[in-house]
Amino acid sequence: MFAAWGHLVYRFRFLVLVLSGVMLAASLYALRQGGTFTNFNPPSLEYARALALMQRELPQQDRGGSSFDLIFRSESMRAGDPAFKEALLAAVAPLRADPRVTGVTTPYDQPAASQAAYVSRDGHTALVSVSVRDAFGPARRYYGELRAQVRSDHLQVLATGGIALGSDFDRYLQADLRRAEFVSLPLALVLLLLVFATVVAALLPLGVGGLAVVGGLAGAGLLARFTDVSTYATNIVTLVGLGVAIDYSLFIVNRFREELGRGRDVEESLSVAMATSGRAVTFSGLTVAIGLSGMLFFQGSFLASMGLAGAIVVAIAVLYALTFLASLLAILGRRVNWGRVALPRPRGERGVWHQLASRVMRRPLLVLIPVLAILAALASPFLQLRLANGDVNLLPPSAESHQGADLLNRDFPGQNLTYVSVVVQYAGGSPLSSGRVGDLYDYAARLSRIAGVTRVESVISSSGLDRSSTQALLSGAPARQPAPVRDLIRQTVGPHIVVLAAVTADAPESDGARAIVRTIRQLAPPSGGQVLVTGQTAYDVDLIAFILQRVPGAIAWVVLMTYLVLFLLVGSVVLPLKAVLMNVVSISASFGALVWIFQQGHLSRLLNFAPSSIDPSVPVLLFCIIFGLSMDYEVLLLSRIQEEYRRTGSTTEAVAEGLERSGRLITGAAAIMVAVFAAFGLADVVLIKSIGLGLAIAVTLDATLVRALIVPAVMRLLGAANWWSPRPLARLHRRLGLGETAALRPRAVA
């Protein structure tokens, strides 16, 4: 099939090239029609249901996070000084006049009893809260214009909270993407020149990579018109698209040039390149897409959209490699070797890779045991993994919103406390009937006795009255209630809900705060009521549980489907199992390195980030991407080893010769992929930085220790068992006709 495709592309090469151009034009058009990317989480989780209930029943609740904070500081003036007040009010005056702003709250608008929350402990810093008319998504786009209006010659100004954080994430993600492209593409070109030693051949993979990224971004944009797609999708699409497209093109171009060098004509060379490397690239694309499809098990979260976007760009990379690249090779022919660069080339048939494989296979256990020990040591920090949802620490310490959040938590009273919101819902009737107020009073008392809870803030406990007096006050006529009580009722009581806040000094992501959330959920609710818990800690607990519940299914799916694809490729039941186990080894080592760097913070100063727990989405993303990419090299290597085995009938010779033929290419391809991933490791957003570096480490380990040492050692130990398959499965594989034997039969050459 692939050989026939090569002949077909050669005969209609100009038509195929034109069709590729049409596809590019369609991608560019679709790129402009794409939807808006946004981060989201499963609405079915308890924290999300509680939040939705509060937003529905408490109209004063901020529905979209459409607010931000301004922090004004002076080293010489205090917030109560007239000059400080005058400078602050002048700075926020343009916001008050902006129609997009619905409210500006300063310390000077508050009663004396409430001003303490808006002034720092040392008195030199003041907090201003700004509310806008639009929800988070639209407001994030014009936040920069609002922030630019706030200037002061006398006060230092920082912005944080809500849309300020969202805007900073957008800005840094875009800058990260530009930086990664600026760094990775020149590095990839240099490495391609080292691999091919000709300018034309080196430029072809870069062209395919660019087309694949454009097509992938267009696909992700169109996907965003029908479903939610994460803001991180553009970076993941570019990262994966560039890596796989350049790799796939590299292998096809190399095989085409190799066949030309053997004396075949252009058509035959293209046919054999498609039947061997083109076939391997297709299977490789399937394995990468299968790895990414594991994220579809996390439906309702942004991970599912990342899996779809990644699968789209991989499919487009394979498509362009088999069409655009194939047609260009047919048109260029031997001109693919134009622009030769004078580089030293290895001489003779027995190169370094053949010698390395042969030495490994002479004493396989002597190599295998120490290498596995090294990988186990690298994986060991993974046992200390701690998961927590990313917050402001995902931004670099230099980001304004990060600095503002740190200042708020450090200097303002109450800002470093954790509030666990407890929503008590009643199906019918007012929650402030006399009987229900009494039950709520008892429930608030039980909350206050939970270990770690310093106090409970609610309309039930704010008055300081005993149980019967509280019942009489809250169930009585509003006219008889003090104004502060009426305000609190308006803020925390809806037609069917009452909101209480359990306050703790523990950090939101701490074990203590998580224990409080779990304890509250285990408490018996007030009679006739239902309790839902929300807040940052509840979000942590719920999302981590959501991901962990689905991880086994995702892993099983990826492993089984990858095993099936590898069986279809090689017709063996042993080699796919070996490949899966090798993947687990390399992934574990890269996960250990991730914990060592980002959680334990060993390179935090060098890489400019604040050490913190690992975001739960990162291991999922890395597993799905790494598993697919590791199989990428496994497919390409096994395909060449199998080709040599069918030619020689010797496993030892096939491994040595297969590694010799593909080892240099795998190393070059891995170096290119590492360059692309490491460029994303320069990102300022920690999630992208951790994914980029995690992938770079994984590919490095996979292409060196695993492919160059472990694979030859294991295959030597297995011997003829490498190719074993039960007779029924062997017959099935032959009937499917997915082998490449026919395509490699000797043909007359010029």
Over residues 208-227, the pLDDT tens digits come to: 999 999 999 999 988 888 87
> Per-residue pLDDT for 498 more than 90?
yes
- Report how far residue 687's alpha carbon sits from residue 694's, in angstroms, rounded to the nearest whole number: 10
Q: Give bridge partners of residue 426 from the DSSP assignment.
A: 529
Same domain, 681 and 733: yes
pLDDT tens column, 483-495 = 888 888 888 999 9
Same domain, 162 and 185: no
Q: Give bridge partners of residue 423 from the DSSP assignment.
A: 499, 532
Q: What is the pLDDT of residue 731?
A: 84
> Of 166, 189, 207, which residue constitutes the final position of a domain?
166
pLDDT band at 742 (very low <50, low <70, confident <90, very high): very low
Q: Give bridge partners of residue 71 from the DSSP assignment.
A: 127, 158
Other Cβ atoms within 10 Å of 734 Cβ, number: 12
User: Would residue 160 count as lying in a domain?
Assistant: yes
Portion of the chain with pLDDT greater than 90, in percent: 42
pLDDT tens column, 579-635 = 888 888 889 999 999 999 999 999 888 888 888 889 888 999 899 888 877 777 777
Asked whether the beta carbons of 336 and 257 are under 8 A apart, the reply is yes
Asked whether the beta carbons of 162 and 65 are under 8 A apart, the reply is yes
In the three-class reduction of DSSP (H, G, I as helix; E, B as strand; rest coil), residue 713 is classed as: helix
Same domain, 192 and 154: no
Q: Give bridge partners of residue 424 from the DSSP assignment.
A: 498, 531
- The tokens of 227 are what? 């479903």
User: Would residue 84 count as lying in a domain?
Assistant: yes
Asked whether the beta carbons of 500 and 424 are under 8 A apart, the reply is yes
Q: Give bridge partners of residue 198 from the DSSP assignment.
A: 340
Query: Which is more confidently placed, 746 or 16?
Result: 16
User: Would residue 407 count as lying in a domain?
Assistant: no
Distances (CA, A) of 459 to 456, 477, 521: 10, 15, 21
Same domain, 187 and 124: no
> Per-residue pLDDT for 698 more than 80?
yes
Radius of gyration for the alpha carbons in the chain, expressed in angstroms and rounded: 31
User: Would residue 291 count as lying in a domain?
Assistant: yes
Same domain, 230 and 363: yes
Same domain, 210 and 314: yes
CATH code (residue 609): 1.20.1640.10
Question: Which structural domain, as residue segments, surrounds residue 472?
Answer: 428-527
> Per-residue pLDDT for 349 more than 70?
no
Q: What is the pLDDT of residue 727?
A: 86
Q: What is the pLDDT of residue 500?
A: 94
Query: Which is more confidently placed, 456 or 284?
Result: 456
Same domain, 637 and 681: yes
Distances (CA, A) of 70 to 73, 120, 406, 568: 10, 13, 13, 60
Q: What is the pLDDT of residue 535?
A: 92
- Report how far residue 694's alpha carbon sits from residue 711's, in angstroms, rounded to the nearest whole number: 22
pLDDT tens column, 274-327 = 998 888 888 888 888 888 999 999 988 888 888 888 899 999 999 999 999 999
Q: What is the pLDDT of residue 745?
A: 47
Provide mean pLDDT across the span 416-420.
90
pLDDT tens column, 152-197 = 999 999 999 889 998 998 899 889 888 888 888 888 888 888 888 8
- Report how far residue 696's alpha carbon sits from residue 271's, in angstroms, rounded to the nearest whole number: 33
- Report how far residue 362's alpha carbon sits from residue 299's, in angstroms, rounded to the nearest whole number: 49
Cα torsion through 357, 360, 363, 364, rounded to 10? -100
pLDDT band at 738 (very low <50, low <70, confident <90, very high): low
Q: What is the pLDDT of residue 44?
A: 85
- The tokens of 685 are what? 């957003």
Same domain, 545 and 506: no
Mean pLDDT, all residues of the chain = 87
One-character DSSP codes across 468-529: HHHHHHHHS-GGGS-HHHHHHHHHHB-SSEEEEEEEESS-TTSHHHHHHHHHHHHSPPPTTE
Residue 15 contacts by C-beta under 8 Å, 6 or more apart in sequence?
A: none
Same domain, 125 and 186: no
Same domain, 322 and 350: yes
CATH code (residue 121): 3.30.70
Provide mean pLDDT across the span 104-118.
84
> Per-residue pLDDT for 746 more than 50?
no
User: Would residue 214 count as lying in a domain?
Assistant: yes
Q: How many domains does the chain have?
A: 3
- Report how far residue 628's alpha carbon sits from residue 648's, in angstroms, rounded to the nearest whole number: 30
State the pTM of this model: 0.83
Other Cβ atoms within 10 Å of 384 Cβ, number: 11
Q: What is the pLDDT of residue 743?
A: 44
> Of 166, 186, 217, which residue constitutes the final position of a domain?
166
Q: What is the pLDDT of residue 346?
A: 56
Same domain, 273 and 376: yes
Question: Phi/psi class of residue 418: alpha, beta or left (left: φ > 0; alpha: ψ in -120 to 50)?
Answer: beta
User: Would residue 532 count as lying in a domain?
Assistant: no
Q: What is the pLDDT of residue 744?
A: 47
pLDDT band at 741 (very low <50, low <70, confident <90, very high): very low
- Report how far residue 444's alpha carbon sits from residue 422's, in angstroms, rounded to the nearest whole number: 10
> Per-residue pLDDT for 114 more than 80?
no
Q: What is the pLDDT of residue 750?
A: 32
> Of 498, 527, 556, which residue constitutes the final position of a domain?
527
- The tokens of 34 are what? 């794409």
User: Would residue 44 count as lying in a domain?
Assistant: no
pLDDT tens column, 537-593 = 999 999 999 999 999 999 999 999 888 888 887 888 998 898 888 888 889 999 999
User: Would residue 53 count as lying in a domain?
Assistant: no
Same domain, 230 and 367: yes
pLDDT tens column, 381-409 = 999 999 888 778 888 888 999 999 999 98
